[in-house]
Amino acid sequence: MRLRDFGLWNGINEVIVITKGEKLNTAPIGIIVENEDGLNAKAKLYASHTRQNLEKGSFFIANIIRDPIIFAISTFEDLSEEFFESLSPPVIKGSLAYCEFEVKLNGLYADLRLLNGKIIRNELRAVNRGFNAVIEALIYATRLKMNPKLAEKIRECYEIIEKCGGEKEKEAMEIIKERIGIR
Ligand SMILES: Cc1cc2nc3c(=O)[nH]c(=O)nc-3n(C[C@H](O)[C@H](O)[C@H](O)COP(=O)(O)O)c2cc1C
């Protein structure tokens, strides 16, 4: 077993992390991999419900998924149970794989060690600039309060999503527009 078997390659891998507090919490998080042939990774965790849940001993389950709507919703709120195809282990509908990690909080970082995982489906998709632009727009959206100038970058992402995205990317863009009020 190695990280790469579950799609986690060297670099930063954007996944949806599920933790549990009073209810399931979902958040996009970048899993940082330096050795894709191994089991160890890390994540930088700012103050969030994800961090709070881990401080209280929650599990850490990463869903590897390429659905832009899931990324958009879980950036702003938690996915409700109807978005899941399984609750134990928690797997969001359409996930390609899930991985469970052991977590040791270490300052700003969480040191992660892959415990187990499963590939659920194998779906081919070519690189889509619209999907990538959704992810960029979401990252800017989470930093917008600290840097209002990012509004311009978000509008550039909208142009790429309009040109290159499919229906799901465009729906994700509508969620972003509604949430941040930038058209
Ligand atoms: C693509 C993407 C990647 C992100 N990666 C991280 C990350 O690595 N660490 C982090 O603390 N927040 C990251 N964020 C921000 C969190 O997902 C965001 O703050 C979220 O609202 C936290 O939710 P929670 O409070 O329910 O845990 C990322 C956001 C996006 C859109």
Give residue limits of the domains in the chain.
3-119, 129-180
pLDDT tens column, 119-172: 999 999 999 999 999 999 999 999 999 999 999 999 999 999 999 999 999 999
d(CA 53, CA 49): 6
Asked whether the beta carbons of 98 and 117 are under 8 A apart, the reply is yes
Residues with C-beta less than 6 Å from any ligand 1 atom: 14, 25, 27-30, 43-46, 48-50, 75, 78, 135, 138-139, 142
pLDDT at 183 over 90: no
Q: Which atom of ligand 1 is the closest one to the Cα of 25?
A: 26
Closest by CA position to 100, among listed 109, 90, 110: 90
**Which of 46, 103, 109 maximizes ligand 1 atoms within 8 Å of its Cβ, making it the mutation to test the pocket?**
46
Q: For residue 85, report the distance from its CA to the centre of ligand 1, in Å.
A: 22
Nearest partner of 53 among 26, 15, 34, 31, judged by Cα:
26
For the domain covering 129-180, report its CATH number.
Answer: 1.20.58.290
The SS3 assignment for 75 reads: helix
pLDDT at 49: 96
With H, G, I as helix, E, B as strand and everything else as coil, classify residue 142: helix
d(CA 132, CA 137): 9
Using CA atoms, how far residue 140 sits from 74, 155, 182, in Å, is 15, 10, 12
Instruction: Give the mean pLDDT of 13-32.
Output: 97
3-119: CATH topology is: Pnp Oxidase; Chain A (2.30.110)
Q: Is the pTM of this model over 0.95?
A: yes
Read off the pLDDT of residues 57-102 as tens digits, 9 standing for 90 and up.
999 999 999 999 999 999 999 999 999 999 999 999 999 999 999 9
